[in-house]
Amino acid sequence: MLDLIILYFVCRHIGNLAISKGLKPLQWKMITVLAWLFFEIAGLTIGIMIFGFSKENMFALLLFALACAFGGYLLIKYILENKPDPDDINNIGSDSLRP
């Protein structure tokens, strides 16, 4: 349940970042949700392969999966931050950088 609350705020942040880049926010929110779920399932699978599956380590497995899911968000955030700003695209080829 905690991961859904975190995912809500993460998607809101990604949507605002996409708007500032001049991109469609819904598309990037969907990409974020898919990356979050993919990385969470992958993290849970890797955690089970490394630590095994038992009642004693269930909390640790879920924390590991949540950390991996947050890594998925960080990957999407990194990709989105490296997209050019709309103002940068308009200045391509201009002589504003020349002395």
pLDDT in tens, the chain (99 residues): 788 899 999 999 999 999 999 899 999 999 999 999 999 999 999 999 988 888 888 999 999 999 999 999 999 999 999 988 877 666 666 655 555
Would you state the structure tokens that stand for residue 64, as one six-digit string?
């590991």
Backbone angles phi, psi at 56, to 5 degrees: -65, -35
Query: Which pTM value belongs to this model?
Result: 0.81
Would you state the structure tokens that stand for residue 35, as one six-digit string?
């990356």
Identity at 66, one-letter amino acid code: L
